Amino acid sequence: KQEFSRFPTKAGRRSLSRSISQSSTDSYSSAASYTDSSDDETSPRDKTQVNTKGSSDFCVKNIKQAEFGRREIEIAEQDMSALISLRKRAQSEKPLAGAKIVGCTHITAQTAVLIETLVALGAQCRWTACNIYSTQNEVAAALSENGVSVFAWKGESEDDFWWCIDHCINTEGWQPNMILDDGGDLTHWMYKKYPNVFKKIRGIVEESVTGVHRLYQLSKAGKLCVPAMNVNDSVTKQKFDNLYCCRESILDGLKRTTDVMFGGKQVVVCGYGEVGKGCCAALKALGAIVYVTEIDPICGLQACMDGFRVVKLNEVIRQVDVIITCTGNKNVVTRDQLDRMKNGSIVCNMGHSNTEIDVASLRTPELTWERVRSQVDHVIWPDGKRVILLAEGRLLNLSCSTVPTFVLSITATTQALALIELYNAPEGRYKQDVYLLPKKMDKHFCILYFILFTGCTAYI
């Protein structure tokens, strides 16, 4: 199990490998990792950096990248007009005045627009990354230059990951009262290591299915002492982010990393939730032969009605060219199944948890790892067979490609409104439980985006 009580020495940081948690809902914090040899080996923790305002309350790769990161954020703002509209309309009211938000999400240009919107609405923010590879270093620098305390960089070690979370929670003069999480790592770290701080939290907003499962586990055990908002199961997150975002980004990630041609390829998609639906639709459109594995009979029937053959993974494991996991569970693809895959097969993950593929079992003396390009490893068996593993089993579209800004804008708007709702809710409205986003909010920002597409105001 993961160690929450101590940090390794400075000398041991780079050699530290990430351990596999026994929790089926653990997130990005739990699989082996290493940085590219081309990266600067000096840890940001060993540097002293100061922004132009004289503050050093941050830890990023290189603060000098701030100007480049600012341009990235400004470009993202152009396609996030509804979130910018919310920022402008509510800026004078300051609905988040007094809110002290600690966040653990992917740190990208799109997330930066959300963070700066929260600041404009009156919040103070400290931020870290939920994924050791998805951070845009230049964006982290731009946020730090603009006064947001960011502790994140691309290629963190196990120790770095928890150190960054710890520094976002535990610092002099800082008592967070709201959490925005993606995967549940920050929430569980605070719950286990800082229970007194956790009890003072007014609300948690969780984006991912993995984090939501972990919240329900806490709630079922009677250990969730604050209200939490389940953004993952909101209509807008499911129907827009999970479906349409993955429909586009799965192809981008696979093309960038492998140059594969999909026509005639046999692909198995594990899971037919909204993410799986998006992946299947995209691959089918390019002529791939798509199989689906699914344990939920309702989703399985949907896959059949959409024209896909529903199988057990073991039935097709020897013949498929590509495996894509989309479940949020663990050990969906096991070592035994990886052993039986054919030479040149591609394995990747579009779910949240990086334990969906049993990557840890591949780190054994008889197997050779060959890094052929960034985020692409060939795992070589003794007989010469190669299996192509992308992003070490982490989230493909955020590690190996770009994600459509417009779709992320919808999710970011959802998160902002959820934070406002929880922070301003009258005492007693929300108990110590997990709640779905109110339907009226889903409809509200769907109207905003509908107007952008059509110019029609019929639903107002």
**Residue 207 is assigned to a ligand binding site:** yes
**Residue 158 is assigned to a ligand binding site:** no
**Residue 103 is assigned to a ligand binding site:** no
The dihedrals phi and psi of 69, each to the nearest 5 degrees, come to -65, -35
- CA distances 107 to 136, 276, 282, 417, Å, are 6, 24, 26, 19
Structure tokens at 331: 């050990």
Distance, in Å, from the CA atom of 169 to the CA atom of 183, rounded to the nearest integer, reads 16
DSSP string, 349-374: E-SS-TTSB-GGGG-STTSEEEEEET
**Residue 276 is assigned to a ligand binding site:** yes
Distance, in Å, from the CA atom of 221 to the CA atom of 332, rounded to the nearest integer, reads 26
**Residue 443 is assigned to a ligand binding site:** no
**Residue 40 is assigned to a ligand binding site:** no
Q: How many Å is the maximal CA-CA distance in the chain? A: 67
**Residue 336 is assigned to a ligand binding site:** no
Distance, in Å, from the CA atom of 126 to the CA atom of 167, rounded to the nearest integer, reads 9
- CA distances 142 to 24, 66, 402, Å, are 35, 4, 19
Structure tokens at 107: 């740190």
Distance, in Å, from the CA atom of 266 to the CA atom of 263, rounded to the nearest integer, reads 9
Amino acid at 290: V
Q: Which of 198, 362, 208, 218 is nearest to 273 (CA)?
A: 208
**Residue 139 is assigned to a ligand binding site:** no
Structure tokens at 245: 């975002």
**Residue 273 is assigned to a ligand binding site:** yes
**Residue 230 is assigned to a ligand binding site:** no
Q: Which of 146, 148, 143, 91 is nearest to 121 (CA)?
A: 91
**Residue 275 is assigned to a ligand binding site:** yes
- CA distances 332 to 63, 222, 326, Å, are 40, 29, 9
Distance, in Å, from the CA atom of 319 to the CA atom of 397, rounded to the nearest integer, reads 25
**Residue 154 is assigned to a ligand binding site:** no
**Residue 300 is assigned to a ligand binding site:** no
Annotated binding site for NAD(+): 273-278, 294, 397
Annotated binding site for substrate: 108, 182, 207, 237, 241
Annotated binding site: 108, 182, 207, 237, 241, 273-278, 294, 397
